[in-house]
A and B are shown apart, each in its own frame.
Chain A
Amino acid sequence: MTESTIPAPRRGVPLWAQVIVWTLLVGLLVIVAMGLRRAQQGTVQPGQTIDNFTLPLYSGYQIDGKSEIHFEDLRGKVVVINFWASWCKPCEQEAAEMQQAWAEYEPTGEVVFLGVDYVDTEPEARVYLKKFGITFANGPDLATRISQYFRIKGVPETYFVDKEGVLQYVQVGPFTSIDQIRAQIDPLLK
């Protein structure tokens, strides 16, 4: 009877323990939220300045005598970054068009094509490059650092970066004609 009228005094969890638990909980939620945000972000968006990255080239490929490309060294040129892989069938659809476009723009000296080989094995990649006669600079995406930076969703994907290093257009999936490639590069040359 008395018990029901007098509430038992409640001793709570110590303040330090509460602070720790809430901090951990909030930290966990922040990590989950960041992960979800990143997953929903999609690829790098046009308008963003592309940070420097390094692409080691397959032997036999060079740009200005260099076998390792630092993106920031290409400032002042339009850069076409093409993600591909030898196991990727859609990549084969656009391989000939990409090479044709490179052959067209190479003499201008104002455009650089970079082939970034995504999660591939070198022997198979070489067979692919030889099969399509690809002569523009190509190299492996070591530790998938470049593809993670661009947050690619798959291959092929192509990124067009202007002379100031700002991303202008993203092509998800293969090009079906060389005109589509020209349509993205020509405005950047003006």
Chain B
Amino acid sequence: MVIDEETMKVTQDTKITSYKLPLAILFALTFALALVSLVSAQGPTPTDDEVNRIAKQLYCPVCESTPLDVCPTEACRQWRDLIRTKLGEGQSEEQIKQYFVTQYGARVLAEPPNRFASYLVPAVAILLGVLFLARAFQMWMKPSITEAEAAANEAPPADPYIARLEEELKKQK
């Protein structure tokens, strides 16, 4: 059997092509798999709403009294970017807030960390104040009416003329 050179070349090319195709598919699949795992590790890009949901619970010490979600300064923009990065890494809201507390102190939180203690002291102080005022008013009001009347009734008039006059008035009643 005589095989000419042209036929041999075509056969070799076909062999090479037949090797190349599965190899290319394998590479493509490996690359796609790697890409998918990378994307799933990073998570989807967080939206502005997701970033702002955390940002509005934080205050940057540089711009006091302005929540982070609406603060226009460069420092706050960086903080928002950091929140976005950490959300992208898959960190939870609590983890991100804790990171900011560790880095910048508890004063960055809009809500105090220990709510019970933070609200208890002013609540008790207000309650004590209200009780004190109520008691004080009660004491100030009562004596001025009852004791004054009692004193008036019990105390004998100093002037006999007035005493007689009051006696007469009582009779007329």
Chain A min CB distance to B150 (Å): 9
Chain B binder among A33-41, A47-55, A137-145, A170-178:
A137-145
Given contacts A87-B78, A121-B78, whether A144 and B139 have CB atoms under 8 Å apart is no
Contacts of A17 in B (CB 8 A): 132, 135-136
A1–B148 alpha-carbon span in the complex (Å): 12
Judged by a CB distance under 8 angstroms, whether A107 is at the interface is: no
Count of chain A residues with a beta carbon within 8 Å of a chain B beta carbon: 27
> Beyond A13-B135, A121-B78, A121-B82: 6 further Cβ-contacts under 8 Å?
A2-B152, A3-B148, A10-B144, A119-B75, A123-B82, A143-B104
Contacts of B78 in A (CB 8 A): 86-87, 120-121, 124
Judged by a CB distance under 8 angstroms, whether A85 is at the interface is: yes
Closest to A89 in B: B74
Instruction: Fill in one digit per residue for B81-94: 1 if any A CB lies within 8 Å of its CB, else 0.
Output: 11001000000000
Given contacts A121-B79, A143-B102, whether A87 and B73 have CB atoms under 8 Å apart is yes
Closest to B165 in A: A1
Judged by a CB distance under 8 angstroms, whether B4 is at the interface is: no
| Cβ–Cβ contact A143 & B74, under 8 A | no
Instruction: Fill in one digit per residue for A145-163: 1 if any B CB lies within 8 Å of its CB, else 0.
Output: 1000000000000000000
Offer 16 A-B interface pairs, CB within 8 angstroms, sorted by A: A1-B162, A6-B152, A8-B147, A9-B147, A10-B143, A11-B143, A13-B132, A13-B135, A17-B136, A20-B128, A24-B125, A86-B78, A87-B62, A119-B61, A121-B78, A143-B106
Closest to B157 in A: A2
Judged by a CB distance under 8 angstroms, whether B103 is at the interface is: yes
Closest to B155 in A: A6
Closest to A10 in B: B143
Given contacts A6-B152, A24-B125, A143-B105, whether A85 and B143 have CB atoms under 8 Å apart is no
**Main DSSP-derived SS at the B contact region:** helix
A73–B79 alpha-carbon span in the complex (Å): 33
Judged by a CB distance under 8 angstroms, whether B25 is at the interface is: no
Given contacts A21-B132, A87-B75, whether A119 and B104 have CB atoms under 8 Å apart is yes
Count of chain B residues with a beta carbon within 8 Å of a chain A beta carbon: 37
A93–B101 alpha-carbon span in the complex (Å): 30
Judged by a CB distance under 8 angstroms, whether A60 is at the interface is: no
Given contacts A121-B79, A143-B102, whether A8 and B143 have CB atoms under 8 Å apart is yes
Judged by a CB distance under 8 angstroms, whether B109 is at the interface is: no
Instruction: Fill in one digit per residue for B57-81: 1 if any A CB lies within 8 Å of its CB, else 0.
Output: 0001110000000000111001101
Closest to B148 in A: A8
Closest to A28 in B: B125
A142–B106 alpha-carbon span in the complex (Å): 11
Given contacts A10-B143, A119-B75, whether A2 and B155 have CB atoms under 8 Å apart is yes
